[in-house]
């Protein structure tokens, strides 16, 4: 309940005829709407400074509990104990230094070539091409438990995309992508606007990157090829056991079992391989390529992830700032587009639920009457404002 002035105050003020005419109170009363002034004059229990509505709720901080029962830093069971070394927060803290500051990009391995130097140097290198790389989602600590940027690459036909993903892309306002991947970043400073394109100048020449991709699949391979076993001899009484792995372990006394993790024949390759600290030799926006020194796992056409090397220092702050500014300059409407796409998604979602989607499809892309009216109103309002602005200028 709103606190009131004690009766002794206003009673005395009311008794003194000069106090009502003081210049401090008058203008205040005149500023208020007429209804309020009448009530103040008739019932002096409502003071104009104080609100009329009662607003003491649990949300306003009001509680009937004794003050000691409020959860506080000092009355917790964990108070005074060191911070836990396990758990999500501790894990994030532990991995902070080895998590890159910036997000990475997806690329396609185009093949290998060489860089011929002027002095006869010859550097083998891999050409990675960025095909319409766009940011798709920001993952946050509060919502997802960690900081990351989801990035998409290429183009996929809508017919080859599942319905849930179609809805996902619809809400993002971007076309379905060939590949999606997530890049962990250190904190919220690594997040990016959604829907913007990342070009090769996201990296600079000379910086080190980690390149991740799946290696070529070798199929089912024997122990010699898969694990480098020595095999067995060709002769000296050997019979039909030239490339076999030999014994799988000791016998009775050692448990007569095969120990877990025993290297055996099996599927080889097609595993995630990370090549660390590859220097960037060339960056070209026109060709859309990033050229890195050395080789990268996978076949030609393989999808690779490129990110700042986690075992090296991040790129200089000036460069990071520059890349961010470039994105802002190139795509100033990213946020507005995302918002519009979200609204459209909600509208379509409602229509799907109510089985009205056929009507909307028949309408095509024309704005609905409500939208058209709203747009017209806005235009009219802006026109009126323009005239209103001009009018005093003429006087």
Partner 1 sequence: MSTTPLARRPLSCLKASLRQARQHKLLTRPMATEATQRTTTPPPPPRRPLEHNFFPLTDRKTKALRSAFAVYPSTTVAGKQALRPPPANVLQSLHEAQMKRMDPTGARTALFAKTREAAKVGDVLLVTHRRGGEPFAGVCLSIRRRGVDTAVLLRNHLARVGVEMWFKVYNKNVAGIEIVKRRAKRARRARLTYMRQPKHDMGSVADLVFAWKRSRKVFSTGKPAAAAKAAKGAKGAKAAAGAKKK
Gap between the Cα atoms of 331 and 135, Å rounded: 12
Instruction: Choose between 32 and 258: whose C-beta lies nearer to partner 1.
Output: 32
Instruction: Choose between 141 and 342: whose C-beta lies nearer to partner 1.
Output: 342
Residues 165-184 that bind partner 1 (CB under 8 A): 166-167, 169-170, 173-176
**Piece of 180-188, 214-222, 232-240, 377-385 that binds partner 1 (CB under 8 A):** 377-385
Instruction: Choose between 99 and 129: whose C-beta lies nearer to partner 1.
Output: 129
DSSP code string of 211-272: EEEEPPEEEEE-HHHHH------SSTT--S-SS-----S--TTTTSSPPTT---SEEEE-SE
HEC profile of 58-104: CCCCCCCCCHHHCCCCCCCCCCCCCCCCCCHHHHHHHCCCCCCCCCC
Q: How far apart are the first and last CA of the chain?
A: 51
**Piece of 98-106, 264-272, 310-318, 360-368 that binds partner 1 (CB under 8 A):** 360-368
Rule CB under 8 A: say whether 358 interacts with partner 1. yes
Gap between the Cα atoms of 387 and 378, Å rounded: 14
Instruction: Choose between 129 and 323: whose C-beta lies nearer to partner 1.
Output: 129
Gap between the Cα atoms of 335 and 180, Å rounded: 21
Asked if 151 and 181 touch (Cβ cutoff 8 Å), the reply is: yes
* Closest CB 312 distance from partner 1, rounded Å: 26
Rule CB under 8 A: say whether 116 interacts with partner 1. yes
Triad 239, 243, 249: Cα angle to 5°: 90
Q: Which two tokens stand for residue 312?
A: 């090296």
* Closest CB 230 distance from partner 1, rounded Å: 30
Gap between the Cα atoms of 364 and 292, Å rounded: 46
Q: In this structure, how many other beta carbons lie within 10 angstroms of the beta carbon of residue 231?
A: 15
Asked if 308 and 102 touch (Cβ cutoff 8 Å), the reply is: yes
Rule CB under 8 A: say whether 201 interacts with partner 1. no
- The site map against partner 1 for 26-55 (x = CB under 8 A) is --x--xx---------------xxxx---x
Instruction: Choose between 2 and 218: whose C-beta lies nearer to partner 1.
Output: 2
* Closest CB 28 distance from partner 1, rounded Å: 7
**Piece of 69-77, 82-90, 112-120, 264-272 that binds partner 1 (CB under 8 A):** 112-120
- In total, the chain counts a number of residues equal to 395
Rule CB under 8 A: say whether 114 interacts with partner 1. yes
Interface residue with partner 1, options 180, 283, 310, 334 (CB under 8 A)? 334
Rule CB under 8 A: say whether 61 interacts with partner 1. yes
Residues 241-300 that bind partner 1 (CB under 8 A): 286-289, 291
* Closest CB 383 distance from partner 1, rounded Å: 11
Rule CB under 8 A: say whether 64 interacts with partner 1. no
Gap between the Cα atoms of 381 and 374, Å rounded: 10
Interface residue with partner 1, options 159, 228, 260, 261 (CB under 8 A)? 159
């Amino acid at each position: 309940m709103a606190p009131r002035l004690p009766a002794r105050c206003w009673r005395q003020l009311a008794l003194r005829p000069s106090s009502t005419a003081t210049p401090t109170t008058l203008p205040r009363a005149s500023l208020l709407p007429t209804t309020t002034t009448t009530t103040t004059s008739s019932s002096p229990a409502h003071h104009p400074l104080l609100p009329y509505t009662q607003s003491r709720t649990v949300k306003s901080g009001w509680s009937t509990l004794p003050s000691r029962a409020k959860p506080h830093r000092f009355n917790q069971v964990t108070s005074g104990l060191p911070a836990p070394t396990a758990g999500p927060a501790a894990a994030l803290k532990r991995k902070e230094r080895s998590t890159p500051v910036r997000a990475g990009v997806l690329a396609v391995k185009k093949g290998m070539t060489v860089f011929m130097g002027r002095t006869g140097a010859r550097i083998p290198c891999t050409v990675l091409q960025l095909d319409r790389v766009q940011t798709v989602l920001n993952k946050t600590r509060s919502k997802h438990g960690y900081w990351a940027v989801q990035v998409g690459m290429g183009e996929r036909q809508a017919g080859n995309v599942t319905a849930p993903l179609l809805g996902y892309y619809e809400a993002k306002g971007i076309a379905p992508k060939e590949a999606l991947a997530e890049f962990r970043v250190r904190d919220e400073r690594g997040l990016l606007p959604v829907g913007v394109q990342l070009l090769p100048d996201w990296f600079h020449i000379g910086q080190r990157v980690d390149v991740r991709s799946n290696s070529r699949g070798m199929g089912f391979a024997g122990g010699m090829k898969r694990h480098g076993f020595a095999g067995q001899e060709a002769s000296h009484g050997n019979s039909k056991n030239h490339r076999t792995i030999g014994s799988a372990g000791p016998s009775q006394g050692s448990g007569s079992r095969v120990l877990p993790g025993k290297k055996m024949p099996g599927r080889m390759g097609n595993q995630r391989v990370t090549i660390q600290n590859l220097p960037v030799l060339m960056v070209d926006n026109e060709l859309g390529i990033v050229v890195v020194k050395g080789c990268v796992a996978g076949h030609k056409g393989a999808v690779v992830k490129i990110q700042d090397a986690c075992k090296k220092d991040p790129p200089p702050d000036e460069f990071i700032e520059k890349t961010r500014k470039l994105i802002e300059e190139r795509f100033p409407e990213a946020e507005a587009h995302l918002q519009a796409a979200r609204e459209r998604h909600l509208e379509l979602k409602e229509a799907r639920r109510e089985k009205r989607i056929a009507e909307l499809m028949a309408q095509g892309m024309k704005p609905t009457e409500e939208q058209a009216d709203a747009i017209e109103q806005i235009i009219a309002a802006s026109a009126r404002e323009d005239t209103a602005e001009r009018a005093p200028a003429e006087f």
